[in-house]
Amino acid sequence: MILKRFIICLSVILMVMACNNQLKEPEKPKNLISKGKMVDILIDSKLIGFANSKNKKIMKEKGVNINTYVFSQHNIDSLQFALSNSYYAFHIKEYEEIYTKVADSLEKLKVEFKALEAKEWKEKTKREEDSLASLTKKDSLVNILPENKIKKIGDSIKSVSDK
């Protein structure tokens, strides 16, 4: 009984010590990415993640490496991003600020995209309505063709119907 309590206490102490070692604050990287740049990087990576397979295929055909595109656009490497991300993830308030800005920016982009989509749909509908309206005008061959051509067409139709 005493041995069991001793083993349980020892296990708890070892687990607490192990957790404390893992929760050690990471060192601030020498080339820490600024919060603003982290926001931009995360927005770009989310947008690429949202791209459908057709868009990703087009990007690949254009020679864009989706896995490294964001890093190359922001002149960073994956290690710099990983270290900066780890540092900010440990500092939860800063990380939360970053992700709040990312979420707000993505929401704003979504609203702008929907407005643009609605505008394009409205313009397309207007063009289709204009196209249909031009077809329904009372433009007939009688108003467009000269009188002698209409007589020839009428004669052709009459001769075909007589046969």
| Of residues 48, 32, 24, 20, the one with CA closest to residue 85 | 32
CA distances from 11 to 23, 36, 112 (A): 18, 44, 56
User: Could you give the CA distance from residue 15 to residue 21 in angstroms, rounded to a whole number?
Assistant: 10
* Type of residue found at 157: I
Burial of 30 (0-12, 13-18, 19+ CB in 10 A): exposed
Pick left, alpha or beta for residue 75 (phi over 0 → left; psi -120 to 50 → alpha; otherwise beta): left
| Of residues 73, 64, 65, the one with CA closest to residue 44 | 73
User: Could you give the CA distance from residue 86 to residue 103 in angstroms, rounded to a whole number?
Assistant: 19
Mean per-residue pLDDT over the chain, rounded = 78
**45-62 confidence digits (pLDDT tens):** 888 888 877 888 888 888
Q: Output the pLDDT for position 69.
A: 86
Cα 103–chain centre separation: 13
User: Could you give the CA distance from residue 41 to residue 84 in angstroms, rounded to a whole number?
Assistant: 12
Most confident of 17-21, 50-54, 71-75, 151-155: 71-75
- Above 80 in pLDDT, residue 93? yes
